[in-house]
Amino acid sequence: MQAVEFEADVKGKTIKVPDMLSGLVDKHVKIILLFNDSPAKVQKHRRKFNAVKIPLFLLG
């Protein structure tokens, strides 16, 4: 298996593959998407954690 990295803009539901990869036409490929998301959107997917207070005298 080979790996190639490139950046692209998603337009609608389409990602344009660079011309240098034209040899991939009609081939099966595995796509891995890495993207930066705004903290507000990421927060929706995190589980909520309620803080716990531990009195310091119990730790000594």
Q: Give the model confidence (pLDDT) of 12-54 as tens digits.
A: 888 888 899 888 889 999 988 888 876 556 556 556 666 666 6
Query: Is 58 a residue whose pLDDT tops 60?
Result: no
Instruction: Give pTM, 2 decimals.
Output: 0.51
CA dihedral 46, 8, 4, 23 (to 10 degrees): 140
Q: Which of 60, 1, 5, 2 is nearest to 33 (CA)?
A: 5
